[in-house]
Amino acid sequence: MKDLIGKLVDVYGPSGHEGQVRALIEGLARDAADEIRTDAMGNLIALKRGTGGGKRIMIAAHMDEIALIVSYVDKKGFLRVGRVGGVFLPTLIGSQVRFANGVTGVVAREKWLTGGSTSQLPKWEEVYIDVGATSPEDAPVGVGDVGVFVQPFADLGTRIVGKAMDDRVGCAIALQALRTMGESPNDVYFCFTVQEEVGTRGALVSAFGVEPEVGVAIDVTDTGDTPESQPMSVSLGEGPAIKVMDSGFLTHPGVKDWMIGSAERLDIPYQLEVLLAGSTDARAIQTSRAGVPAGCISIPTRYVHTQSEMVDMGDVEGSVRLLVDLVTQPVTF
Q: What is the pLDDT of residue 331?
A: 93
Band of the pLDDT at 161, cuts 50, 70, 90? very high
Q: What is the DSSP letter of 140?
A: S
Asked if residue 65 has pLDDT above 90, the reply is yes
- The values of phi and psi at residue 229, to 5°, are -75, 160
* Calpha distance 284→296 (Å, rounded): 12
Name the residue ranges covered by the structural domains of the chain.
2-65+163-328, 67-149
**Each residue of 232-254: b (16+ CB within 10 Å) or e?**
bebbbbbbbbbbbebebbebbee
Give the distance, in angstroms, between the CA of residue 254 and the centroid of all CA atoms in the same chain. 25
Tens-digit pLDDT profile for residues 202-218: 999 999 999 999 999 99
Rg of the chain in Å (alpha carbons): 20
Q: What is the pLDDT of residue 333?
A: 85
Pick the catalytic residue: 65, 196, 238, 273? 196
* Calpha distance 83→58 (Å, rounded): 30
Asked if residue 112 has pLDDT above 70, the reply is no
* Residue 183 is a catalytic residue: no
Interval 47-61 mean pLDDT: 97
How crowded is the C-beta side of 317, counted as CA atoms within 13 Å? Answer: 10
Helix (H, G, I), strand (E, B) or coil at 208: helix
Angle ∠(44,45,49) on CA atoms, nearest 5: 160
Q: What is the pLDDT of residue 116?
A: 52
CB 122 within 8 A of CB 51: no
Higher pLDDT, 119 or 304: 304
Residue type, 152: P
Q: What is the pLDDT of residue 163?
A: 96
Asked if residue 260 has pLDDT above 60, the reply is yes
Asked if residue 121 has pLDDT above 90, the reply is no
Tens-digit pLDDT profile for residues 274-327: 999 999 999 999 999 999 999 999 999 999 999 999 999 999 999 999 999 999
The strand pairing partners of 302, in sequence order, are: 310
Query: Exposed, middle or buried by CB within 10 Å (0-12, 13-18, 19+), for 3?
Result: exposed
Asked if residue 118 has pLDDT above 80, the reply is no
Q: For residue 57, which of 215, 246, 177, 211 has the smallest C-alpha distance?
A: 215
Interval 141-151 mean pLDDT: 96
* Calpha distance 81→107 (Å, rounded): 10
Pairing of strands 96-99, 44-48: unpaired
Asked if residue 114 has pLDDT above 90, the reply is no
Interval 217-241 mean pLDDT: 95
Q: For residue 28, which of 177, 145, 154 has the smallest C-alpha distance?
A: 177
- The values of phi and psi at residue 307, to 5°, are -80, -10
Q: Which CATH class is domain 2-65+163-328?
A: alpha beta
Q: What is the pLDDT of residue 230?
A: 87
**What does CATH list as the number for 67-149?**
2.40.30.40
Tens-digit pLDDT profile for residues 71-108: 999 999 999 999 999 998 888 888 999 999 999 999 99
Q: For residue 29, which of 164, 181, 199 has the smallest C-alpha distance?
A: 181
- State whether the Cα torsion 87-91-94-95 is positive or negative: negative
* Calpha distance 82→86 (Å, rounded): 11
Start-to-end CA distance of the chain, whole Å, equals 31
- Asked if omega into 167 is within 30° of 0 (cis), the reply is yes
Give the distance, in angstroms, between the CA of residue 283 and the centroid of all CA atoms in the same chain. 14
* Calpha distance 83→327 (Å, rounded): 36
Interval 19-24 mean pLDDT: 98
CB 168 within 8 A of CB 22: no
